[in-house]
Amino acid sequence: VLPGGVDSQIIDPDGTCRLSARYALQVAEGTVYVENNGIRRVPAQYHDQLFADDMRFFSDIPPEAIYFRTVPSFEVDTPALSWLTTSLFICAGGRTQDGVMLDFYQVG
């Protein structure tokens, strides 16, 4: 991930986080700009902690109990990566106290 990205989240009263992220990736074939939007839900007993500024509680939640899905879109700077702009993808994500991990899946 290259420097200069930005992300935001809006937490609804029911605890659903509406996520939006923009960032660039450097890969062997070139640069990929990613716009990634989605939602994250955690079990109700963790809702109060969502409004605190301490994400360490995520390590206490079993990963399978967190619903974290996004829909990325891509812009690329080389023809070798153009297939990213002509396919649909979804992401399954995980939140840790140190950051976010995303698995990208091409919808086929």
pLDDT tens readout for residues 11-33 = 898 889 999 999 999 999 999 99
List, for residues 48-95, the tens digit of each pLDDT value: 777 776 777 777 888 888 899 999 999 999 999 999 999 999 999 987
Q: What is the pLDDT of residue 39?
A: 98
- CATH classification at residue 13: 2.40.160.20
Give CA–CA dist 40/80, Å, rounded.
32
Sheet containing strand 6-11, edge to edge, reads: 6-11, 17-27, 30-41, 67-76, 89-95, 100-106
Domain with 17, as residue range(s), is 6-106
1 lies in some domain: no
CA gap 24, 1 in Å, rounded: 6
The answer to the question of residue 70 being in a domain is: yes
Q: How many domains does the chain have?
A: 1
